[in-house]
Amino acid sequence: MTGILQYTFMQNAFLAAVLVSVACGLVGTYVVVKRIVFISGGISHAAFGGIGLGYFLGVNPILAAIPFSIASALLMGLTSKKVKVSEDTAIGILWSLGMAIGIIFINLTPGYVPDLMSYLFGSILTVPTSDLVIMFILDIIIITLVYLLRREFQGISFDEEFSQVMGMHTTAIYLILLSLVALSVVVMIKVVGVILVIALLTIPAAITKQYTYHLGRMMIISVILGMILTTGGLYISYLFNLASGATIVLVLGLGFFVSSIIQKLMD
């Protein structure tokens, strides 16, 4: 294990795995508890529009994806609550529009787009130091907001109607939560890509939920579990020369099934 850490790209990859696990553990807990997995998937796919915009403008696609993902999250949240269509229909429409916008921008970009597949399916082995800095800053923002709004997030996660009766601005809090999901998606894009990001966001929290409903403990365990499974998948992909993003997701899925079996045996 220590041998592969002599390479700079592997050091960056393991740091990225740790940073992404923090975002997944914190925000993923709310995604699983509040059951907003589908809307989180919509945000992750809509983020591809920001990737395409970044290529078109000639800026870092990760930076371009931040405002685009947050705007998509806010639009999905408001549409699902205000427009008279079912939530899954609204999310599906915005999901596909985000992907389409990204494709159009990429088509309009002159020249060849060399690393597009890394944003679709992830390429943790090619994460540059500049992206690590962005991921670290986004993690700090996520940690800060989760700490400051922990009671509000807990309220809308378990009983949104009661929280509204008690005077909480539930719509605003919900939109902030979706914005955190959007930031988490941006953190994860280079690790597993837009297509697979939903697995990393939900599986660690889903495993933890089998053993506890306490939000604080869920977050801590999810972060640690995410680090173990993500770095484990990265190591396996290195050993067997496999696609890193897909291998990480497979290890996460295997962890969920093993945990489910253990939980069944304990009952």
CATH number of the domain within which 171 lies = 1.10.3470.10
3-state SS, 168-220, equals CCHHHHHHHHHHHHHHHHHHHHHHHHHHHHHHHHHHHHHHHHCCCCCHHHHHH
For residue 2, is it within any domain?
no
- 36-57 as b/e: b if 16+ CB within 10 A: bbebbbbbbbbbbbbbbbbbbe
For residue 106, is it within any domain?
yes
Q: Alpha carbon of 33 to those of 78, 135, 162, 218: distances in Å?
A: 20, 24, 16, 10
Instruction: Identify the residue with better confidence: 67 or 77.
Output: 67
Lowest-pLDDT range of 5-9, 49-53, 198-202 = 5-9
For residue 1, is it within any domain?
no
117-141 pLDDT, tens digit per residue, is 778 888 888 888 888 999 999 999 9
For residue 225, is it within any domain?
yes
For residue 44, is it within any domain?
yes
Whether 86 has a pLDDT exceeding 80, the answer reads: no
Whether 226 has a pLDDT exceeding 90, the answer reads: yes
- 51 close to 64: Cβ distance less than 8 angstroms: yes
The pTM is what? 0.90
Helices (H) and strands (E) in the chain, counts: 12, 0
pLDDT at 84: 64
The two tokens of residue 200 are 């990393």
E strand or H helix at 10: helix 8-34
For residue 130, is it within any domain?
yes
Site of tokens 């295997």: 254
Task: Please tell me the distance from the alpha carbon of residue 234 to that of residue 89, in angstroms, as a whole number.
Answer: 36
Whether 195 has a pLDDT exceeding 80, the answer reads: no
pLDDT at 33: 93
For residue 200, is it within any domain?
yes
197-224 pLDDT, tens digit per residue, is 888 899 999 999 999 988 999 999 999 9
Give the chain's domain count. 1
Structure confidence at residue 93 as a pLDDT band (50, 70, 90): confident
For residue 79, is it within any domain?
yes
Task: Please tell me the distance from the alpha carbon of residue 227 to that of residue 208, in angstroms, as a whole number.
Answer: 13
pLDDT at 244: 87
Whether 152 has a pLDDT exceeding 90, the answer reads: yes
Whether 114 has a pLDDT exceeding 80, the answer reads: no
Domain that holds residue 230: 7-266
The overall average pLDDT reported for the chain is: 88
pLDDT at 147: 95
